[in-house]
Amino acid sequence: MNRKTGLLLAVIIILAATVVFWYSTGISPVTRAGEDTGSASGEKAEADSIDVAKEDKPFQADSMFLAVGEQAPDFTLTTLDGKKVSLSDYRGKKVLLNFWASWCPPCRAEMPDIQSYHEAHSGEVAVLAVNIMYRETEEKIRDFLEEGHYTFTVLLDKNYDVQNTYKVRGVPTSYFIDSKGIIRYYKLGPLTEEEIKRWMETME
Annotated domain spans of the chain: 3-201
Average pLDDT, the chain: 79
60 has pLDDT over 60 = no
In sequence order, the β-bridge partners of residue 155 are: 130
The dihedrals phi and psi of 197, each to the nearest 5 degrees, come to -60, -45
Helix 105-121 and helix 193-201, axial crossing angle in degrees, nearest 10:
50
Q: What is the mean pLDDT of residues 171-181?
A: 97
The dihedrals phi and psi of 191, each to the nearest 5 degrees, come to -95, 155
Homologous superfamily (CATH) for 3-201: Glutaredoxin (3.40.30.10)
Cα separation, 150 vs 98, whole angstroms:
14
Cα separation, 35 vs 104, whole angstroms:
6
| pLDDT of the residue at 6 | 60
Least confident of 53-57, 67-71, 88-92: 53-57
| pLDDT of the residue at 9 | 59
| DSSP conformation class of 67 | P
| pLDDT of the residue at 64 | 76
**Which run of H or E residues covers position 121?**
helix 105-121
Cα separation, 180 vs 57, whole angstroms:
22
Amino acid identity for residue 12 in this structure: I
Contacts of 55 (CB under 8 A, 6+ apart): none
180 has pLDDT over 60 = yes
- Rounded percentage of the chain residues whose pLDDT exceeds 90: 68
Least confident of 28-42, 68-82, 142-156: 28-42
103 has pLDDT over 80 = yes
**Which run of H or E residues covers position 174?**
strand 173-177
Amino acid identity for residue 22 in this structure: W
Q: What is the pLDDT of residues 63-89, one digit of tens each?
A: 678 999 999 999 999 999 999 999 999
Please state whether beta strands 125-131 and 94-100 pair in parallel, antiparallel, or not at all (unpaired). Answer: parallel
**Among 109, 155, 135, which residue's Cα sits nearest to residue 26?**
135
Q: Residues 92, 116: contact at Cβ < 8 Å?
A: no
pTM: 0.72
Instruction: Give the N- to C-terminal CA distance of the chain in Å, as an integer.
Output: 65
